[in-house]
Amino acid sequence: MQDVTKLETELLARIEAAATLDALEAERVGALGRKGRITELMKGLGGMEAEARKSFAAELNRTKDRVADALATRKEALAAKALDARLAGERIDITLPPAPEPQGRIHPVSQVIDEITEIFAAMGFTIAEGPDIEDDFHNFTALNIPPDHPARQMHDTFYLPEKPDGSRLLLRTHTSPVQIRSMQAGPPPHRIVVPGRTYRIDSDATHTPMFHQIEGLVIDRDIHMGHLKGTLAEFCRAFFEVERVNMRFRPSYFPFTEPSAEVDIGCDRSGGQIRIGEGSDWLEILGCGMVHPKVLEAVGIDPNEWQGFAWGMGIDRIAMLKYGIPDLRAFFDSDLRWLRHYGFQALDLPRLGEGLSR
């Protein structure tokens, strides 16, 4: 009996000293497992005298029960301790605001569209939009583009399948159809800018089949080229964030404007970089002109009473120019590394009073 009492004291001490659940499991196996110390004593009961076996078995069962209870109590205590430690290690202080590193970026095209519209909105222009799929009238005819003009040909324009009546819809080749739709929607005066996607069959380092344009239109009484020049000069100064921009207007030809001009701005190309507002070099950025009388007539506006000017530029191209992006095709590669380098933070909203690109 003394041996059982001594064994019980030893086993209870070892159980109490177990510091982890794994250590406690080892003590359980050593005491109550198939080859455990109490199990081995139980196996020896069969070789004992009946009277001695009865007394020894009773004491051994009491010891077994006490050891089993001690194991359960210690397991519960160790499990609670492990849970407390885990909760302490995984604790989150929800009273503090999170400050994660932003992962998303605003695409340069989206940023430049916001910059341009911010500038023209401050001048009193409104934003106009229209469909990407157009008809021949809005995309060509109303803009005084003759039937034999190269822009109408298959090598320039994405045409949709022919309809039963022989007409064909197309992907707009410029945002000018929105100007037509805006003039049809209501009487003058008009003062709008039109950003959007456009489509032409072309692809190289400075051209893609889908690209972005923004155009402007002003229709009012007594409008002249001086108003056009002043508007574009103010835009260039604000967009490139310089005090002064040298500009020159070169005669050109567009079917929908007369007279027409290409606009160059002064720059410096030395050192492998382009710096706007300084130097003796020139860089073409947009086309413009006075709205052709036939365009006004096509939308029911009397050109003897109303005049206007229009201009248009490639958003992708001036984004490349302002932010030093060398290849237009990278705009559409969906390369996150490129976007992290050239993209903008979500809250970098252009504001004239704080500097567009800050």
User: Domain holding 239: CATH number?
Assistant: 3.30.930.10
Least confident of 128-142, 151-165, 168-182, 259-273: 151-165
pLDDT, residue 154, reads 60
Asked if 355 and 241 count as a contact pair (C-beta separation under 8 A), the reply is yes
- Domain residues for the domain of 255 are 108-349
The total domain count for the chain is 2
Q: How far apart are the C-alpha atoms of 78 and 88, rounded to whole Å?
A: 15
Asked if residue 200 has pLDDT above 50, the reply is yes
Residue 170 to residues 83, 129, 198, 214, 215, Cα–Cα distance (Å): 66, 17, 11, 19, 19
Mean pLDDT score across all residues of the chain: 86
pTM of the entire predicted model: 0.66
pLDDT the model gives residue 312: 95
Task: Please tell me the distance from the alpha carbon of residue 131 to that of residue 122, in angstroms, as a whole number.
Answer: 26
The pLDDT of residue 219 is above 50? yes
Same domain, 83 and 112: no
Both 34 and 113 in a single domain? no
Judge whether residue 304 has pLDDT over 90. Answer: yes
Which of 283 and 220 is assigned the larger pLDDT?
A: 220
In terms of domains, do 85 and 143 share one? no
Assigned domain for 234 exists:
yes
The closest of 246, 256, 345 to 303, measured between CA atoms, is 256
> In the structure encoding, which two tokens stand for residue 84, read together?
């407390």
Closest CA relative to residue 45, chosen from 59, 34, 33, 56: 56
Q: How many CB atoms lie within 10 A of CB 37?
A: 15
Q: Residues near 3 by Cβ (< 8 Å), separated by ≥ 6? A: none
The answer, yes or no, to whether residue 346 has pLDDT greater than 80, is no
